[in-house]
Structure 1
Amino acid sequence: MTSLVRLMLLPSARCLFDEPVHVKVAGLRSRQVVTMRARSTDEKGVTFRSSASYRADGSGEIDLQRDPSLSGSYVGVEPMGLLWSMRADTLHKRFQKTNSLIPHVVKFSVHEEEGGGRMLAEATNERLLIGDGVSRLPIREGIIRGVLFTPPGPGPFPAVLDLYTFGGGLSEKRASLLASRGFVVLTVALYGHDDMPRNITEVHLDYFEKAIEFLKKQHKVGSKGIGVISLSKSGDLALSIASYLPGVEATVWINGCCANTALPLFYKKSQILPALMFDISKVIPTESGAEISKYAVNDPQAEENKGSLVPIERAEGRFLFVAAEDDLNWDSKAYMEIMEERLKHHGKDNFETVCYPGAGHYLEPPYGPYCPSSYHGITRKPVLWGGEPRSHAAAEVHLWKKIQEFFRTHLSCDATQTKARL
């Protein structure tokens, strides 16, 4: 390693997962071409890597905010390209970072173009999933299983119920990052976590009703109602929660369906929505071994399926509908348009929409590795998620800010609400 070459991560090598880092190199020869690399291992032990070639300026410096990549995992000026372009060493693997206590550690390095790519400098970026002072409390309260994240300080803070994962287990990443941005967030599991059953055949809204009641009782919560954030299958659950349960002021629906899918929905021991099902014969195989499942969902507007449509006109709160136009898991944009038309037909204007051309299904907090394909919990096979990496990464940056603005705008906070209610 050449001691004269310096790789700098500014303003600090330690930051939150959703924060950009300024990567600079100094001490190179004038106009020297080098390869920049990034490497990380997720909590499942899968290694992700990226690389890009850069040419130093006349002073022997490279600045990723200014200089274009000449070749590699991406080209052009992409300050965070080494992060979002990382790909798994193994096919069809999605970056797994679900435990908020374990940071995303990325090794950046600079290598000579010739001579076997000798390393010239390296630096470690520790990307935290939970901010300083944010409390993390595992929840086993009655039937509720999840984790509660609370920001530091007296509050009041708006409250959000995070339905990140419909599949088995629990993911804390989005919830802990939202809490780091000033929200009290409860993320809940539906099955496959702690002492919960490994599989389910029906979903009960009563579970989410209990979760909302628990969340509203937290002493730092200042919002009169709560927000709900979802993704994929949990999108239709979020619609049903907003439509059937009181106290939901703001709902974020990301790349889901407008109908209740996969499992029948119950409330107070009675079925309120049947399940919109899938036609496996319409799944499209690809050469990579991953399938395209987008067209396998039955038409929710067909006469025999209309009963599964969620009656979102019942909702009193606001909606933010988010659709990635290259989503290969759901026809998210079409479902969003169905919901727009339904609300307008009922004289409602309590919604806003945002579409992202070139983005795929998994829109998450920004700066994680883009996922082209991975195992699907329902089909139990690898599927293509869609999207072009650069466009998808840009969508995640924009959406993350949009979500926070939406919740801050529509979750009314009142300091008098923060008195202890436990």
Structure 2
Amino acid sequence: MMRLQLWPRARCLFDEPVQVKVAGLRSNQVVTMKARSTDERGRLFKSSAIYRADETGEVDLNRDPSLSGSYIGVEPMGLLWSLSPEILHKLFTKTKALIPHVVKISVYEEGEEGQMLAEVTNERFLIADGVSRVPVSEGNIRGVLFTPPGEGPFPAVLDLCTFVSETRACLLANKGFVVLTVAMFNDKPRDIKEFHLDLYQEAIDYLLKQPKVSFKGVGVLSRSKGGDVALALAAFVPGIEAIVWINGCSGSSVYPLFYKKHQILSQLSLDISKAIPTESGASIIKHVIEDPLAEKNKGSLVPVQKVKGRLLFVASGDDLNWDSKGYMDEMVERLKRHGKNNFESVYYPLAGHLLEPPYYPFCPSSFHIMTPFPVLWGGEPKAHIAAEVDLWEKIQEFFKTHLSCDPAKSTANL
């Protein structure tokens, strides 16, 4: 009898791999493996790959290479990360922690009109058993707080996500961290004219007051626009022990930054005319932002040399959003000139801008908040996905090492 199975189980956490196995086929039979999923906006994403069974009639995605399709070669999670939208330039939207990522995985006979032989459902949960989710609307803070089970104390992390999203914060809470996620942009991003550090200091103070949080300090997790705000927080606001900066900028990008009613950093402006259009309809905007090292822009540079906490810089070599590798290198050199050694850096040469938690559908292009057209994000798909898996472990280890208590006390499981 033909069987399609997911190991170790069909229900798992979002960042956990599954093993896809087919048994009961004919010896050396060629089949098409397919996956499909609908995101939170109701948009369909699909992937497919051709496999040949071994002599015993089995296909094991952990062992066997895809011959053609959405990816080629041995890619155990290829069906998930290669999920692509039916409509071009769409980003897979997964923001709500209480709604699982549901993927239908199926096996078909060879050929476009091949009959479906079997199908299974992979439910990928964001929130683990025992993790609490509490919406926060206190003072100027609008976010969601995730707390792991157990008595604590736990290390605390402020997640500066670009738009409202609970994905990264919830997955990190599953690992034993108290995480408050706050979005950089609200539902009317074009109305924003400036950023204020006071809001994020308020979020830091809120985290430190939580009964399960360690007293020592907090970590900050950031990417893209959140990167320069995270660095400024660490430079100007006390209580921050560890900062993860992913594909960000070294200056205050696009918006001026204020603290205690005074402007502390000027903004780096955009010149959209420098965007490079491509045949896909999406443009490369890597060089549309002003050079932070130009004399007129020196007031935008974040004084990273004032940061007392630990820094983890992460840059992608194929980031087509902006020159994150160049920004990282400049900040590392500046820190060295000031005799600082409170940093480490990670470089992924073939990864793109949108480094997500593991197994998130790879997005080559989508619309951008700052442009009237879609943009290319960059990244060679296989290398990008491998970077995401590697980085997710590095982030956890970095926060465990440099925050003040042991998150292993958590017992969160699916």
Aligned residue among 3, 7, 23 for 1:6? 3
Q: Which residue of 2 aligns with 1:391?
A: 383
Q: Does 1:79 align with 2:76?
A: yes
Aligned residue among 28, 40, 55 for 2:37? 40
Distance 1:252 1:391 in 2: 21
Distance 1:223 1:18 in 2: 29
Q: Alpha carbons of 1:46 and 1:223: their partners in 2 closer, same or farther (altered >3 Å)?
A: farther
Q: Which residue of 1 aligns with 2:62?
A: 65
Q: Which residue of 1 aligns with 2:278?
A: 286
Q: Which residue of 1 aligns with 2:134?
A: 137
Q: Could you give the per-residue CA deviations for residues 208-259 of structure 1, whole angstroms, max 9, x where no partner exists?
A: 0100000011011125110000011111111101111000000000001000
Please state how far the C-alpha of 1:33 moved relative to its aligned partner. Answer: 0.6
Q: Which residue of 2 aligns with 1:296?
A: 288
Q: Could you give the per-residue CA deviations for residues 6-43 of structure 1, whole angstroms, max 9, x where no partner exists?
A: 11001110001100001100110111010000100100
Q: How many residues get paired?
A: 407
Aligned residue among 172, 176, 188 for 2:170? 176
Please report the TM-score for the alignment, with normalisation by the length of structure 2.
0.96
Q: Which residue of 2 aligns with 1:269?
A: 261
Q: Which residue of 2 aligns with 1:374?
A: 366
Please state how far the C-alpha of 1:85 moved relative to its aligned partner. Answer: 1.0
Distance 1:369 1:192 in 2: 24
Q: Which residue of 2 aligns with 1:55?
A: 52
Distance 2:214 2:20 in 1: 39
Please report the TM-score for the alignment, with normalisation by the length of structure 1.
0.94
Q: Alpha carbons of 1:197 and 1:326: their partners in 2 closer, same or farther (altered >3 Å)?
A: closer
Q: Does 1:337 align with 2:329?
A: yes
Q: Could you give the per-residue CA deviations for residues 392-412 of structure 1, whole angstroms, max 9, x where no partner exists?
A: 000000000000000000001
Secondary structure class of the residue paired with 2:31: strand
Distance 2:138 2:184 in 1: 14
Q: Alpha carbons of 1:152 and 1:198: their partners in 2 closer, same or farther (altered >3 Å)?
A: farther
Aligned residue among 130, 133, 146 for 2:143? 146
Distance 2:350 2:114 in 1: 34
Secondary structure class of the residue paired with 1:127: strand
Q: Alpha carbons of 1:152 and 1:37: their partners in 2 closer, same or farther (altered >3 Å)?
A: same
Q: Does 1:111 align with 2:108?
A: yes
Please state how far the C-alpha of 1:190 moved relative to its aligned partner. Answer: 4.0
Distance 2:159 2:184 in 1: 12
Distance 1:334 1:125 in 2: 40
Distance 2:197 2:406 in 1: 27
Gaps of 5+ in 1: 416-422
Distance 1:353 1:197 in 2: 31
Q: Which moved more, 1:389-398 or 1:278-287?
A: 278-287
